[in-house]
A and B are shown apart, each in its own frame.
Chain A
Amino acid sequence: MKAPLSFVLNGSNVTAEADGSTRLLDLLRVSLNHTGTKGGCGEGECGACTVLVDGLAVNSCLYPALEVEGKHVTTIEGLRTIDNKLSIVQQAFVDTSGIQCGFCTPGMIMTAKALLDNNPDPTDEEIREVLLGNLCRCTGYVQIVESIKTAASRLKENR
């Protein structure tokens, strides 16, 4: 049985329908046409589907859609600035070559954003620690770690 659902997606109120088995990933990608969030495994193993729910990074492939009722969901589409520029974290991934095929990228960037929101000055270890849930097959992670460090220092300059 589908039930109505309302929540805040990237700053705007949205209403949708979902049932108990609907995953947040499908709600976003299929019902709400937000395909920036990727599904890489559907089992909570790869992190490609990472989005923020009330500021916390979650795997949207495991997250029941009905549970976002009344919450704030942020996806990769919500990171761009109001004048449609890439956010500092996104731009850092572009500039520091943290992106190859790009399939892991939205999840990586959401994870990085959640980290930097809470810990503006992470060590390499802390970065690698949060990246544990985000698999990348292309980069070997070196330039992803560098991207997050670049983002951290640019955010600091901007503060």
Chain B
Amino acid sequence: MKDFRHIGKDIPRPEAPDKAAGKAVYIHDLVRPGMLFGKIKFSDHAHARILRIDTSKAEKLPGVKAVITAYNTPELRIGFVRDNFALKKDKVRQFRDEVAAVAAIDPHTAAEAVGLIKVEYEPIPGVFSPEEAMEPGAPLVHETDPRGRPMKDNRHPLHYHHESGDVKAGEKAAKFVAQGEFSTQLVQQCCMGTAGCIAEFDMNNNLTMWAKTQIPFLAQRDFNQALSAMGLQNKNTRVIVPTLGGGFGTGLDTHAYEYIAILLAFRTGKPVKIVYTRDEEFANLSPRQSSRTKIIQGCDKNGKLTFRHAEVLQDNGAYTSWGATYPTVMMMPATSLYRVSNVYFDAKLVYTNNTYCQAMRGYGNPEFTWALENNMDQLAEKAEIDPFEFRMINCNQPGETTPMGLKVSTCGLKECMESVAGKLNWKKSRSQKKQRGIGMASLIHVGGGGRIYRSDGSGLILKLDDFGNVNTYCGGVEMGQGLHAVLILEIAEALGVQPEKVFINPTDTGTCPWDVGTHASRGAFMAGNTAIMAAKKLRDQIFEHAEQLFPELAAKNLKKYQKKHPDYAPPDFDIKQAAKRDRFDLVDGFVFLKDAPSEPWTRIELGALLRAIHFREQGQMLATEVFYDPPNELPDFEKGYGNMSATYAYGAQGVEVEVDTETGEVKILRMVAAHDVGRVLNPPALKGQIYGGLAQGVGYALYEQLQSERGRITNPNFRDYKIPTAHEMDFPIELDLIETNDQFGPFGAKGIAEPGLVPTAPAIANAIYNAVGVRIRDLPITPEKILAALEKLKSTKD
């Protein structure tokens, strides 16, 4: 294995000291001179016509600077299918619809003013489940599509499909078949720092947005479109990303509150800040989408999968954000987790009057893996094969191309599953008694970018200064995952400098190169590949200049050295002769000739060389900009084909549980997580990603559900919406980081931000089944559901 100087080393995150000191500036802390506070008036109905909005009282309240509605502002269409509006006119389609907004001198006045806005509605019957929405004659959520053509029903125009092989033949070849219907719930991302932004115009009507975003450049495009719609042609937005209090997918789209802040800032000529309170965040920020999956799989007598048939139905809510594209990722496990050649996958979405949904960590993968990995255990049982053995029989292999056309470069799935089985003492633990059980589940995820836009690219600018510092401009977003620490290691390694010399500048569309966004576990992968490209270009530049300047500098060095050591006789070596660009190296911030004897004066500090390049006639400063777009394809999602990532991450997680059959309570006794990470770049950051993902998976499995009653969120607080605390997470977690050294990964690494969440819930469900013989099909697995299932099990046995 190659020896790395920096890769794989623990370095503390560069931003951690400021965070520990309370000095990091989040959107909540940011203040601009003259700043006003915006507040939104949300709908009181899930579905209603707006008859009248009376803002007169609000306008008269002292301290109020503007009150806006869709009736006195330009129409701003938002969302990637343009079916949403910043402010709603004529009709509301969900409880969180924005009907008006105010800007005032302080948050208190803004809230009071919103309370004074009176809206008259005429309620319309709503639809609150896909089934209800698809009934003949059901009320239409949208009467027309975004282009104004009448909608016949509530079916969403997006549709995802994949067929490969011959499913009929696969069914015939199956000796055993298992089927099930599995559902997942609405879940909130629950960033500890709520959503917010500040919008500010300069006197040329260009906009600066401080945004809690993971997609600064796509946000810039969205906001620029809004500026055009406001009649501000050829104006530009600069998006600046402050310290983020978590992301988890919430920053992948632009939000109505951001456009409202823009409208208010333009109206008042002052900076306007909108920050959600926690209950606003729960009720009004798009959560993870719910899903229902019907799955059937069959295998032959040896346990080899012969077919897989899956149909997904998603409640899209009233408008469209990235939740509607989860099936683009669901297709990946559906076609490519375990070897199966005959596959049918179909996913449909239906508009309802529920809250609309956006991205969250895992992005459709946890939803589908929930169904698939439960069903794998069901089928293993039918075939009377141990579920670990059953998975091993169908394990993916390096080098294979899956039915979706995914090209598997490296694959550590076998090692991951073996590791989990070994650590859990699989055979023995499967047959324990006393309501204890173990289970496992595996995963595949994009590990080498994920092309869901036309570009999957990322840029990087490295600018060297007179001190040998590397000033870095990266379009990727640090949101707590550790991107900056990893980027520093990657640059230090690739360029040959000390990590302390690498400085990362704030993410700002005005200074940083374009990046599609920090999603799909692509941050470290992309950053590393750009670092390698940029380092190569910079090293070439440095060594080119060194041909001329290095001998002079070395001679000066020697002189100085000889002054101090008069007896020193230099070895017989002609530096001028040897100074050829391809003979130089740069390590730890020193430039030297590879063949030169290692003497105190033959190593030139990078800063000294850079100064020599700069301060002379026709001097130069060295910098480079690169753009890396990984070798992957934009799949055709209606056909379900295309190699969406350059490489894929694999993993397996196992869990031991104890189920209290009196109370239905599930206690996790321990978890093991084995992940094919390609290469460990920064161990503590990597572990933090897996621990954190796993904890979110535990919440998903056992505790979390955004309760919606006819479209109204009824548990918008941490009292009623339980995320895991240190108590729920009080069990040992054993990690095994398996390095497969991927050819496309920077230094061999794959993306690893999401996988920890993906298989956690089905692993727990499989363990519960092993413990007490009941399989819960609807997330979350609550004590009530377990008790009801145990009751049913008892009555069928009696």
Judge whether B144 is part of the interface by a CB distance below 8 angstroms: no
Q: Are B192 and A103 in contact (CB under 8 A)?
A: yes
Interface residues in A107-141 (C-beta closer than 8 Å to B): 109, 124-125, 127-129, 131-132, 134-141
Residue of A nearest to B480 (CB): A101
Per CB-CB distance, the 9 closest pairs between chain A and chain B, nearest first, are A36-B22, A101-B480, A102-B19, A140-B695, A103-B245, A76-B22, A140-B691, A45-B718, A97-B684
Judge whether A52 is part of the interface by a CB distance below 8 angstroms: no
Q: Are A46 and B20 in contact (CB under 8 A)?
A: no
Judge whether A150 is part of the interface by a CB distance below 8 angstroms: no
Q: How far is the CA of A80 from the CA of B17 in the complex (A)?
A: 11
Residue of B nearest to A90 (CB): B20
Q: Are A100 and B481 in contact (CB under 8 A)?
A: yes
Interface residues in A2-46 (C-beta closer than 8 Å to B): 29, 34-43, 45-46
Contact of A38 among B189, B193, B717, B723 (CB under 8 A): B193
Judge whether B463 is part of the interface by a CB distance below 8 angstroms: no
Cβ contacts B23-60/A at 8 Å (1 or 0 each): 11110110000000000000000000000000000000
Cβ contacts B178-208/A at 8 Å (1 or 0 each): 0000000000011111100000000000000
B416 to chain A minimum Cβ distance, whole angstroms, is 19
Residues in A with CB closer than 8 Å to B278 are 40-43, 45-46
A-B contact count (CB 8 A): 165
B193 to chain A minimum Cβ distance, whole angstroms, is 4
Contact of B726 among A76, A80, A137, A141 (CB under 8 A): A141
Q: Are B21 and A77 in contact (CB under 8 A)?
A: yes
Residue of A nearest to B717 (CB): A43
Q: List 8 additional A-B contacts (Cβ < 8 Å) besides A140-B692, A143-B684.
A: A36-B22, A94-B20, A103-B192, A128-B730, A132-B725, A138-B688, A139-B691, A142-B691
Q: Are A135 and B725 in contact (CB under 8 A)?
A: yes
Q: Are A138 and B480 in contact (CB under 8 A)?
A: yes
Interface residues in B565-605 (C-beta closer than 8 Å to A): none
- A and B contact pairs by CB, cutoff 8 A, 9 listed: A45-B278, A95-B12, A97-B688, A102-B24, A127-B726, A128-B730, A137-B191, A137-B723, A143-B691
Q: How far is the CA of A48 from the CA of B684 in the complex (A)?
A: 23
Q: How far is the CA of A32 from the CA of B44 in the complex (A)?
A: 37
Judge whether A59 is part of the interface by a CB distance below 8 angstroms: no
Q: Are B726 and A104 in contact (CB under 8 A)?
A: no
B724 to chain A minimum Cβ distance, whole angstroms, is 8
B480 to chain A minimum Cβ distance, whole angstroms, is 3
Q: Are A97 and B246 in contact (CB under 8 A)?
A: no
Residue of A nearest to B245 (CB): A103
A58 to chain B minimum Cβ distance, whole angstroms, is 17
Judge whether A53 is part of the interface by a CB distance below 8 angstroms: no
Residues in A with CB closer than 8 Å to B24 are 102
Cβ contacts A74-109/B at 8 Å (1 or 0 each): 011101100000100011011111011111111001
Residue of A nearest to B244 (CB): A101
B399 to chain A minimum Cβ distance, whole angstroms, is 34
Main SS at interface, chain A:
loop
Contact of B685 among A93, A97, A101 (CB under 8 A): A97
Judge whether A66 is part of the interface by a CB distance below 8 angstroms: no
List the interface of chain B (C-beta within 8 A of A).
12-13, 15-17, 19-26, 28-29, 189-194, 243-248, 277-278, 479-482, 684-685, 687-688, 691-696, 717-719, 723-727, 729-730, 733
If A45-B718, A100-B481, A101-B192 touch, whether A140 touches B277 (CB-CB below 8 Å) is no
A40 to chain B minimum Cβ distance, whole angstroms, is 5
Judge whether A152 is part of the interface by a CB distance below 8 angstroms: no
Residues in B with CB closer than 8 Å to A102 are 15-16, 19-20, 24, 243, 245, 480
Q: Are A35 and B21 in contact (CB under 8 A)?
A: no
Contact of B245 among A75, A101, A145 (CB under 8 A): A101
Contact of B22 among A43, A46, A75, A100 (CB under 8 A): A75
Residues in A with CB closer than 8 Å to B687 are 97, 142-143
Residue of A nearest to B247 (CB): A101
A81 to chain B minimum Cβ distance, whole angstroms, is 11
Judge whether A57 is part of the interface by a CB distance below 8 angstroms: no
Q: How far is the CA of A35 from the CA of B28 in the complex (A)?
A: 9
A73 to chain B minimum Cβ distance, whole angstroms, is 14
- Interface centre among A34, A37, A90, A138, by most chain B C-beta atoms within 10 angstroms, is A138
Residues in B with CB closer than 8 Å to A65 are none
Q: Are B193 and A40 in contact (CB under 8 A)?
A: yes
Q: How far is the CA of A77 from the CA of B20 in the complex (A)?
A: 9
Q: Are B726 and A101 in contact (CB under 8 A)?
A: no
If A40-B192, A43-B278 touch, whether A141 touches B696 (CB-CB below 8 Å) is no
Q: How far is the CA of A127 from the CA of B17 in the complex (A)?
A: 22
Residues in A with CB closer than 8 Å to B723 are 135, 137
Residues in A with CB closer than 8 Å to B246 are 101, 103, 137-138
Contact of B20 among A48, A99, A134, A135 (CB under 8 A): A99
Q: How far is the CA of A34 from the CA of B28 in the complex (A)?
A: 12
Residues in A with CB closer than 8 Å to B17 are 86, 90, 94
Contact of A36 among B21, B192, B194, B688 (CB under 8 A): B21
Residues in B with CB closer than 8 Å to A97 are 12-13, 16, 684-685, 687-688
Q: Are A80 and B192 in contact (CB under 8 A)?
A: no
Q: How far is the CA of A86 from the CA of B481 in the complex (A)?
A: 22
Residues in A with CB closer than 8 Å to B191 are 101, 103, 137
